[in-house]
Structure 1
Amino acid sequence: MGVWLVGADVLARSRFRTSALAETVAALLVLLGAPARPGRQDVARHRPALRERLAADPVTAAFARAAVTPGWLADVLCVPPADDDLDIGDELARVRRTPADAVLAGLAPGRSRPAELAVPDLGDRVADLLGWVWELAVAPDWPRLARAFEADIVARTRRLTTGGWAAALGDLRHGTRWLGDGRLQINAHDHPPRDLAGAQLLFIPAVTANGWAGWAPPHRYSLVYPCGGLLAAGPAAAPGTLSRLLGPGRAAVLAALGTPMSTTQLVAVTGHGLGSVGNHLKVLLDAGLVRRRRAGRSVLYYRTGTAERLLRAQR
């Protein structure tokens, strides 16, 4: 599975999108012991609750042990969302419909299957576990996460427009890079190339260390990758000379837009009021230093090339 062959037809159908289930799986990995990522360190505090839940359900506990192994994540946790999966309920329903034998077949190859997993409702139990993780560790923060994911998608779409797939995917995740000639390296494993002809390829941001690949052959494939931007770090400080040139408020807003953000996000990261941020954005828009674009239900602002050159000069 080291290289995927993606022709022009696949690229034409490829797109970036969010997935509540992908973020729920990322949270589950943290609850099972993976390091918490910047912006989501609070997830780790729920680990005792997960241990208590698994202790009370031997089937779910056995699945958790078998589903997450070095170099492998159970297929049922990685299936790409369908076009009509609109929210976590739709994605969990798809997990719930997975036959028990398909759940078992998607565990790491070459490993024995725990006897506890020989139950007919295994898909239901996996969906129940994921729904519990969603409610506990993801749902309270989902509006903020979704805005950050949309901002990351806008940034990568811009790079795709200006630099092609090599620019958009070059730093997507460790081990993934665009090789050219319709070849996408997704990891360093020595597997025969997989031809994705006729399939749809999705790129999904999540708060994860390195992400994972998913597939529902022959129609859907996905790469979950670490979201950058707002979740990874705070906004860059505005250079003092830029503050003197534009005023401290507008300079702070412009410096924060290294990643596309909504007005609400800018209020949160700059500490300025909503009215002030709105006024600063209007001036920056009129000056040609920022542009805006709708992403889902949000309007995201981002720096223009002129603004990038101005910031480089000031630094």
Structure 2
Amino acid sequence: MADPLIEAFGAEGTIAPVRFEVSGTRPETAVRDLGGIYAGERWSAAPSNGRFDYRYTAIGDSEVTIRRSQMHGEIRGYMPGGAPDHVVTWISTGTGEVEVRGERWPMLHDVPVLFPADEEFTFTTADYDQRLVHLDRGFVGRVAATRSEIGERPLRFDARRGADENLGHRWQGALTALSRALRVGGPDSDVWQDAKVAAAEVFLDMFPPQSDDLPDVLAQPRNARLRAAVEYIHAHAAEDVSIVDLSEAAGLSVRSVQESFRRVFDVSPLTYLRQVRLDRVHEELLEAGPQAGAVGEVARRWGFAHLGRFSASYAERFGEYPKQTLRR
């Protein structure tokens, strides 16, 4: 892949003021600075061949930023799920590896990958030059809502699918346009806004989203606040979700949230959450095939700690046990 970001990161005095940079020569400050940017946990860093230094720069606005991370040395860490941004990244030098659900993916040079936004993962990188584009979830959702085939449904992205290789030239063009827009007009300009939307469009084509079909009843105006709670469940099903979270998402009292779910779905909010999680497990097992140990791993990832109760609930919902789904 060509390097459309070099001009943006290298130009002095031509970039709009929405920008930050961190750099240093000590592993402990790299953990503090870089781990702080990503709210990471259990990060560690070490010199490589006796040398250690790093530099991280970000330019853009709260909806889209283009970033560059460089390091002589090694860094690794854990990322919890629930990131506020979708992050597309690639390395041009060095090595990198991401591990999700026990599966490791090497980061190939100049091949964009999508970090999991909703799942926990670990990473290891060394002696690298890395490019990243952060796209705010809400912004991507608004762009996606303009597409008739997606609409305003909650979006999920399967990072394991990888980018569509045929769209590499369009992604490169989108990055070039973003960099040029910052140099020419800055983040308050129309050209920057147009470039952001174009980049989000290419992102949606490279990593086609999986959408959850929400019940039609939520389209009724009287259920607008309930819809917000339901969308929150679908967007955060892999995380710990409480009634208070749903109350804040919907702008309703806890009691009103409970009553709304009972009125429309005849179940409690947490029962609805469990049903969504069961559906996600079912989808994964259908894709996984007969793999030893897969059921327990998938169930725990979607919040089911007691495998016996999970298996019974699964059978009640789908008419078969999880292992039967795997054998299909």
The answer to which structure, 1 or 2, has the higher relative contact order (CA under 8 A, 6+ apart) is 1
TM-score between the two structures when normalised by the length of structure 1: 0.25
Structure with the larger helix share: 1
Structure with the larger strand share: 2
TM-score between the two structures when normalised by the length of structure 2: 0.25
